[in-house]
Amino acid sequence: MASLGCLSAPSIRIKANQFDFGVQMSSGSKRITQQSRGTSVSVRNEVAVDDKHALLQSGSDKLEITRVINGLWQTSGGWGKIERDPAVAAMMRHVDAGLTTFDMADHYGPAEDLYGIFINKVRRERGEELEGKIQGLTKWVPSPVKMTRNVVEAAIDRSRKRMDVKALDMLQFHWWDYSNPGYLDALKHMTDLKEEGKIKTLALTNFDTKRLSIILENGIPIVSNQVQHSLVDMRPQARMSELCQLTGVKLITYGTVMGGLLSNKWLDVKINVPFMGPKIDTPSLGKYKRMVDAWGGWGLFQELLRTCDQIGKKHGVPISTVAVRYVLDQPSVGGSMIGVRLGLSEHLRDSQNIFQIKLDDDDRQRIEAVTKKGKDLMSVIGDCGDEYRG
């Protein structure tokens, strides 16, 4: 089993905003402890290779991704019917626009199959050089059965076959029930399979800070944790980011434009007036409208949209671009997801413009003057991923 690699010193201790994490080296793995409240310090954060790319790394495991990631949840149904050929053509347009990283999951309908068709087309028509610049990140979301080697390997082999790859660029693992410690068994089997060449990098999705710490203590080479993170949901910056800065784990964020709510389409919309304006008619819009309600309600959300609109006009970009840029600038964030409705709608120019703008201190202060009026979602919902665990 591979170790996590080495830090530059035998031990590190950083007093962060609320927690004191100690990381010590022992037999090639990190031991991480959470202790008493300390004082706030500034921690240097180095994420990006350049503004468009980030390097996710644990020891010798490395994967370079684009910082704006094409999210394929929308292929799973509820957003309109996805047709194979237009979808594959749309994926090629995203790659040609420089957006070469795709995120999917074993349960996102035909997402893995579409990626397999797409990458095979790239291989045949555009060659190995372009294929080598594309990254396919997938997720495994198992039922909490006993995590034997056979169970884990069968799941990995299924994704490899669907995606038509010898090795998964990244496997992001989700676990429903922390009271069942089988997630450690699964991750240890995944680490072994990574060493055998079936996976390039291991990652997590929707794990909280405590469990990430436990996983790292067990010597699992995690490069990233995918979490919900937006102007409304800043929970990852409460605790998770502190541990990530300490250990080198990066954050991949989803829900960053809140299913499209953080956009000009919803500016000045009176949500409670029947038959007026756009409708909450997709799974993602429904999910993130509930998040708005938990945070501060539609009135405060409109104030946030108006502020982002003013900042967007200053920079010549829409609200969604401002929203993603703000999150990308947060500590430990390696990349942010933007959902793509392959063959149905595209926002390529808006995605590319994320790399063209720089928010200044005044922009950030104006955004934070609104966001601090909302409720602390850590106290309302809990840590990252707790919304999935009741």
Q: How confident is the model at residue 79 (pLDDT cuts 50, 70, 90)?
A: very low
3-state secondary structure the chain: CCCCCCCCCCEEEEECCCCEEEEEEECCEEEEEECCCCCCCCCCCCCEEECCEEEEEECCEEEEEECEEEECHHHHCCCCCCCHHHHHHHHHHHHHCCCCEEECCCCCCCHHHHHHHHHHHHHHHCCHHHHCCCEEEEEECCCCCCCCHHHHHHHHHHHHHHHCCCCEEEEEECCCCCCCCHHHHHHHHHHHHHHCCCEEEEEEECCCHHHHHHHHHCCCCEEEEEEECCCCCCHHHCCHHHHHHHHCCEEEEECCCHHHCCCHHHCCCCCCCCCCCCCCCCHHHHHHHHHHHHHCCHHHHHHHHHHHHHHHHHHCCCHHHHHHHHHHCCCCEEEEEEECECCCECCHHHHHHCCCCCCCHHHHHHHHHHHCCCCCHHHHCCCCCHHHCC
pLDDT at residue 7 is higher than 50: no
Predicted TM-score (pTM) of this structure? 0.87
Q: How confident is the model at residue 76 (pLDDT cuts 50, 70, 90)?
A: low
Work out whether strand 68-71 and strand 20-26 pair parallel, antiparallel, or are unpaired. unpaired
Rounded distance, CA 185 to CA 152, Å? 9
Question: Which burial class, exposed, middle or buried, applies to 316 when counting CB atoms under 10 A from its CB (0-12, 13-18, 19+)?
Answer: exposed
Q: How confident is the model at residue 10 (pLDDT cuts 50, 70, 90)?
A: very low
Mean pLDDT of 66-84: 75
C-alpha R_g of the chain:
20
pLDDT tens for residues 156-204? Answer: 999 999 999 999 999 999 999 999 999 999 999 999 999 999 999 999 9
Which of the two residues, 23 and 101, has the higher pLDDT score? 101
pLDDT tens for residues 341-371? Answer: 654 556 778 888 899 999 999 999 999 999 9
Mean pLDDT of 249-274: 93
Length of the chain counted residue by residue = 390
The pLDDT assigned to 1 comes to: 34
Rounded distance, CA 378 to CA 146, Å? 31
pLDDT at residue 47 is higher than 70: no
Mean pLDDT of 84-101: 91
What value does the mean pLDDT of the chain take? 86
The CA-atom distances, in angstroms, between 360 and each of 29, 283, 370 are: 39, 34, 16
Q: Are 332 and 47 in contact (CB under 8 A)?
A: yes
Work out whether strand 199-205 and strand 11-15 pair parallel, antiparallel, or are unpaired. unpaired
User: pLDDT over 90 for what percent of the chain?
Assistant: 71
pLDDT tens for residues 280-324? Answer: 878 888 999 999 999 999 999 999 999 999 999 999 999 999 999
The pLDDT assigned to 181 comes to: 93
The CA-atom distances, in angstroms, between 168 and each of 133, 138, 162, 203, 254 are: 14, 8, 11, 12, 20
Quick one: tokens of 132? Answer: 């080598």
The pLDDT assigned to 48 comes to: 62
